[in-house]
Chains A and B, each alone.
Chain A
């Protein structure tokens, strides 16, 4: 049975368990003289039976569905004759995709070696066996646990307390998923990053100024050594983020100031949602706009002024990214400006300062730490932004500060290295994870600092 159908069946079984539990509690209560002789309402007996039946079955289902693919792969690879045993992980994944292609019918079995055709047959058999076993196990767990739960219904049983404590644990597990996600992120990037540094020296990655990750397919190929110096990627990311900030910070800040200090209610009611609309547009749309409208416009404009500009200039990607970040900066600054106590504003105005003087000399200095925090958050958003740069910035890793040239960024390289078919242990793929680790660390650091500043600032005026 398909996992999705099995999931539905488990839910149906849980509902059945609910009704059986409900009915049993009532039938136990009747001879005693009605349900007021039960410790809990019949609903809770039913719910308890449903939880008993559903939760273990769902756990089994989840674990089985998660690990069956990997286990089957290992068995299939392990069953190959000695001569075909893959030596590296790369070969293993190649072999596996061949086998699964034969199994799914995309590749006729006559086209491959006999052991692979056999392995494909085994794969098919194992898959159907696994599905069969999973269905059997999940259904029997659901029925058995539900039956046990049903059997243990007694009038004295405090079903409500049990249901509530189970639910509380379920809620806790959901909240703890956030920790699990973080741990998952750290492990998935850290593990591959360590393996990357086994192949490529530490110093080359951090201090090398040349990036060309094309490792050779054959050992004797010309230029077989890839170069993994991240400095050009790093400077490229910084260049584009800096351009984005040059656009976003003044525009975002000034519009926030205007909206909070000068604009009337009506204007604010129209302009604010429109500004927020900029934040709701998917990044792929910005990428499209940057690559097909802004970049050609900039290179034409530069050409008409006699300057040479690349058709994938950093300026185009940066400017469009800046537009995307405007609402982010403006809404954060808006919060911060509004948090400055009215008394300070009144005091300054009463002394005869104009509104702009109040803004520049009193409110802005007071709000500065908060605004800095907001800008740091925006910077972290900019360096992690992917689609705009994938579509509008180039792939060439140039070490330059000229915004009219092509640069590449960390995120562009991650996407380029990981899209399409790739073997899993080449330095090229591992490099993507190493870059991911750097990106994660950089954004984490910026976020932690920014959140700290913002929080400290809020406490100051609360």
Chain B
């Protein structure tokens, strides 16, 4: 009796300590989740904070005198003349007029406020509208990247402002008068890569990504579904089938860069395919995403209840008819969901594409499957490696676009799973 009581006593005495331990353990769990979610939050705020200014461009709107004599141009239709003509001078003169107190002596400093590509824009405008010659027009041009950085990040220590005090005062003045403005950065969405951050855009990378994804999708979805059907429905129980399964499971865990090595050795060096084209990128990503698609398609096929198969077989359908007419349509939503997730993975993949040469500096928007191209994540990588902070800003903006694509793809997959998938 006494012995038992003392034991109960021991337990009671230890309870406080044990409950404390319990609470501590629970707190560890909460802490762990907080760390993980905190990291997610930090990542997002960091990228948005660094990149939202990438969606803004700085422009200069001014009255430009398209004086033929000043430009050494009397016929804008003449190719030779337009090549030789001076399109910088009218811009400089126009800006000198806008800046109060600026004189001809300041022209070098004034010139540094205008984007180097502005003269190209002016030339193109004049080429398209020859009648503008010897008139005066209000036109909008991109500012120089240094001005762009100053306007957006004047107080930020991380950015080095390259303008001198005189130029800063001018820009402040011009901003007040509405000559220099920031607006939505349409250049970012309508151009290819450029050496000049103000001119750099992601359209080329987006088109490259779409082309690559198209190749990946049309190859990996049918092949993945066919392989899943074979393994689930037709494969005999033997060593060879086991071997195929082991291979698929291992390929799913092979680092993506190894697929890049495969692409380089087989598609480029053995088959002599060109480097940095969407077709080769798509082939490599196909091999990489196939295991994911096969595994999820198999799960979808498995979830179709045997009663469906038995019913179809019972009324005389052949095995192939059972599969193609009954199992496949029922498993399709699950297969599509798995494929969208696989495609999202492929869209964010960078490493294998670096090895097959999709890192080249490509200005033009690709216009075909065999045209040199880059993809969105590689563009992010290229810009992130630049020492210029203006490019870092663009890289974060490009990340936001990439994440928007990925999140909408995943949301679509979740929606499809909820909406279309049948529970048996």
Give the distance to chain B from A459, nearest Cβ to Cβ, in Å. Answer: 16
The verdict on A167 contacting chain B, using a C-beta distance below 8 Å, is: yes
The verdict on B143 contacting chain A, using a C-beta distance below 8 Å, is: no
Bitwise interface map of B from 251 to 263 toward A, beta carbon under 8 Å scored 1, else 0 = 1011111111110
What separation, in Å, do the CA atoms of A179 and B247 have in the docked complex? 6
- The interface stretch among A52-60, A201-209, A304-312, A437-445 is A437-445
**Would you call A292 and B384 a contact (CB within 8 A)?**
yes
- The interface stretch among B126-134, B146-154, B196-204, B394-402 is B394-402
**Would you call B269 and A287 a contact (CB within 8 A)?**
no
From B256, which residue of chain A is reached at the shortest CB distance? A386
**Would you call B257 and A278 a contact (CB within 8 A)?**
no
From A73, A187, A284, A289, give the contact of B43 (CB < 8 A).
A289
**Would you call B250 and A172 a contact (CB within 8 A)?**
no
Within 8 A of A (CB), among B363-382: 368-370, 377-378, 380-381
The verdict on B290 contacting chain A, using a C-beta distance below 8 Å, is: yes
Give the distance to chain B from A194, nearest Cβ to Cβ, in Å. Answer: 13
**Would you call B18 and A354 a contact (CB within 8 A)?**
yes
**Would you call A433 and B265 a contact (CB within 8 A)?**
yes
Give the distance to chain A from B361, nearest Cβ to Cβ, in Å. Answer: 11
Residues of B within 8 A of A315 (CB): none
Residues of B within 8 A of A164 (CB): 318-320
From A178, A184, A278, A415, give the contact of B290 (CB < 8 A).
A178
**Would you call B46 and A391 a contact (CB within 8 A)?**
no
What separation, in Å, do the CA atoms of A327 and B36 have in the docked complex? 9
The verdict on A254 contacting chain B, using a C-beta distance below 8 Å, is: yes
Bitwise interface map of A from 355 to 387 toward B, beta carbon under 8 Å scored 1, else 0 = 111011000000000000000010011011111
The verdict on B285 contacting chain A, using a C-beta distance below 8 Å, is: no
**Would you call A278 and B351 a contact (CB within 8 A)?**
no
**Would you call A177 and B254 a contact (CB within 8 A)?**
no
What separation, in Å, do the CA atoms of A436 and B257 have in the docked complex? 8
Residues of A within 8 A of B234 (CB): 168, 171-172
The verdict on A17 contacting chain B, using a C-beta distance below 8 Å, is: no
Residues of A within 8 A of B21 (CB): 354, 356-357
The verdict on A188 contacting chain B, using a C-beta distance below 8 Å, is: yes
**Would you call B261 and A447 a contact (CB within 8 A)?**
no
Instruction: With A283-B351, A287-B384 as known contacts, state yes or no: A277 contacts B40, CB within 8 Å.
Output: yes
From A271, which residue of chain B is reached at the shortest CB distance? B33
Residues of B within 8 A of A66 (CB): 271
From A319, which residue of chain B is reached at the shortest CB distance? B39
From B258, B262, B402, give the contact of A285 (CB < 8 A).
B402
Instruction: With A185-B258, A411-B257, A447-B250 as known contacts, state yes or no: A281 contacts B403, CB within 8 Å.
Output: yes
Residues of B within 8 A of A439 (CB): 255, 257-258
**Would you call A271 and B359 a contact (CB within 8 A)?**
no
The verdict on A250 contacting chain B, using a C-beta distance below 8 Å, is: yes
Bitwise interface map of B from 380 to 424 toward A, beta carbon under 8 Å scored 1, else 0 = 110011000000100110010011001000100000000000000
The verdict on A102 contacting chain B, using a C-beta distance below 8 Å, is: no
What separation, in Å, do the CA atoms of A192 and B22 have in the docked complex? 57
From B272, which residue of chain A is reached at the shortest CB distance? A69
From B35, B253, B255, B271, give the contact of A385 (CB < 8 A).
B255
**Would you call A181 and B262 a contact (CB within 8 A)?**
yes
What separation, in Å, do the CA atoms of A73 and B11 have in the docked complex? 84
The verdict on B350 contacting chain A, using a C-beta distance below 8 Å, is: yes
Residues of B within 8 A of A451 (CB): 249
The verdict on A349 contacting chain B, using a C-beta distance below 8 Å, is: no
- The interface stretch among A147-155, A226-234, A256-264, A334-342 is A256-264
What separation, in Å, do the CA atoms of A4 and B282 have in the docked complex? 14
The verdict on A99 contacting chain B, using a C-beta distance below 8 Å, is: no
Bitwise interface map of B from 344 to 357 toward A, beta carbon under 8 Å scored 1, else 0 = 10011111001101
Residues of A within 8 A of B272 (CB): 67-73
**Would you call A443 and B253 a contact (CB within 8 A)?**
yes
Instruction: With A189-B265, A278-B40, A285-B403 as known contacts, state yes or no: A178 contacts B47, CB within 8 Å.
Output: no
The verdict on B294 contacting chain A, using a C-beta distance below 8 Å, is: yes
Residues of B within 8 A of A139 (CB): none
Within 8 A of B (CB), among A375-426: 377, 380-381, 383-387, 390-391, 411, 414-415, 418-420, 424
Query: 6 pairs across A/B with beta carbons < 8 Å?
Result: A185-B261, A257-B29, A285-B402, A323-B39, A360-B25, A385-B255
Residues on B facing A (Cβ under 8 Å): 11, 18-19, 21-22, 25-26, 28-33, 35-37, 39-40, 42-43, 46-47, 50, 222-224, 226-227, 229-231, 234-235, 243-244, 247-251, 253-262, 264-266, 269-274, 287, 290-291, 294, 318-320, 344, 347-351, 354-355, 357, 359, 368-370, 377-378, 380-381, 384-385, 392, 395-396, 399, 402-403, 406, 410
List 20 additional contacts besides A66-B271, A172-B234, A177-B227; criterion CB under 8 Å.
A2-B368, A171-B229, A172-B230, A178-B247, A252-B32, A252-B36, A257-B29, A258-B32, A271-B33, A282-B349, A291-B384, A352-B11, A356-B22, A383-B255, A384-B256, A387-B351, A387-B381, A414-B261, A440-B255, A444-B254
